[in-house]
Amino acid sequence: MNGRIGFCPEPVATSLRVRSVWALLLLSLVVGFVFFAHLGGYPLFDVDEGAFAEATREMLASGDYGFPMLDGAPRFDKPILIYWLQAAAMALFGVDTWSARLPSAVAAVLWVFATWHFARHRFGARPALLAATILATAIGPWAIGRAATADAWLNLWLALAAFDAWRHIESHRRAPLIRAYLWMALGFLTKGPVAVLVPGAAVLLYCTAQREWRRFWAMLRDPIGWLVFLAVALPWYGYALWREGWAFVEGFFLKHNVQRFADTLERHGGDWWYFLAVTPLLLAPWTFLLVPALTRIWADRTVALRRFLWFWAVFVVIFFSLAQTKLPHYALYGITPLALLLANHQDHARGKWLATVPVLAALIVVITATLPALLVEVAQRSDRLSPFHQALAASALEAWPVEAYLAAGAVLLLIVAFWRCQALLSSEISALLSAAVVCLWLAFRLLPWAGEVLQGPIQRAAVAAQGKAVVNIGLRAPSFSFYRQAITPKRPPEPGEWFVTRIDRLPEFPYTLRYEARGVVLGERTP
């Protein structure tokens, strides 16, 4: 027997390799299920999902793939790439909810495995598997990976850009740096300047801490990198400027980038501690794994890659905390380094914090199973809800069948079984299965219920209005046009035209009621 330090006997090494292969296969199965299962089983959620899907539908209907339009008007919120990806999915699989969400699910899978690949070569098989597991089954990344929006792709580009920037830093090879410019360019086409800001700030902070400003300057002024970036990103931005003129600059750059930082848009504000509270929630049920990571943050300053990851994660929290507009998914831009750090610090904590994952998973099931009754109670007691939202909330219990409680009980029994079998399965696999079961519970029970309560009346009103000339005079729900398969312009109706609105925004002109359900109203204007 070889007595060298670190020598692993062949049977043991073979056993470890076999276990790693089976663990990776299990991860692949789980990732496929959590992101694709029941993906089209509930309506689009307004405003964001409805707006992206409807703008893409209009792109396909008109054949104009150059610029997104929403209900016939230019949509300046996001650049073009996500619309092209959704258009490709809809062209292949039909114009429906599933194909609208498909690109995000694909991006989420690529995001998870890109993180696993990066971690496997730097931290080993076990932390890599755990980091990928956290990204796949934490509530925040899981939800954004099933949403028909641009953020799953943005997070993929952010991860790839930061990973390749680090590969360049550690190896001095130019190829990873060129790829980083490519990923940032694609991110710039997906959501704009944030795709450059986040990885660029992480690299700048790291190089500043290392007193390697010349390295950062050399990375910043790489001519081939800039050629790649401009070749990918510049053509569409140039076309958008030529087509829409100053309205594009004002709508996209000034309003949806500069103004989002300087002012509170659409009442999406929050206190300075907003993201300190939101980030642990987005990591659920892996939240308590933050404890060993945060307790070793000072020690991590001596490990180059961990220092880089902390700079990345902390910059996101601080920068978006300074912004006046705050939305939960902004915290996801720093979730990738947190997943890597959480996975790495389980070895120092001897994995004991993994036992909290099934506990939090069970708590999520209990809370969500009682949510319908709680929502009705809040709606009855609150005097701040509008009549429209009161009408929606009143149906919360009706949309929650009795068998949902039986399903909740079955899920809880599964989680208890996984928790009791930690010694047999390993703490990582037990946590993975518990978190995956919660994701499936949310996909098959909570999201369809929320879709019925919030979007069901809108979807049925759209079906009732098919084939009619309809205008929108007060309903902020672009999914109405998507389900109606027609543009719904925002203007006052002419006599004989139908209109859609909310029950608390009924018009003063004479009309005939054509449809009403839970606060959504269709009417026809009379002479």
Average pLDDT, the chain: 90
Q: For a pLDDT cut of 70, what percent of the chain falls above it?
A: 93
Q: Between helices 194-209 and 304-322, what is the axis angle to 10°?
A: 130
Contact predicate 52/151, CB 8 Å: no
Residue 444: predicted pLDDT:
96
CA dist., res. 470 & res. 490, Å (int)? 9
Question: How many C-beta atoms lie closer than 10 Å to residue 300's C-beta?
Answer: 18
pTM of the model: 0.93
Q: How open is the CA angle 250-253-256, to the nearest 5 degrees?
A: 95
Model confidence band, residue 1 (pLDDT cutoffs 50, 70, 90): very low
- pLDDT tens, position by position, 289-304: 999 999 999 999 899 9
**Domain segments of the chain as ranges:** 12-53+73-344, 357-455
Length of the chain: 527
Q: Is the pLDDT of residue 210 over 60?
A: yes
DSSP 65-102: -SS-EETTEE--SS-SHHHHHHHHHHHHH-SSHHHHHH
CA dist., res. 252 & res. 453, Å (int)? 32
Q: For a pLDDT cut of 90, what percent of the chain falls above it?
A: 73
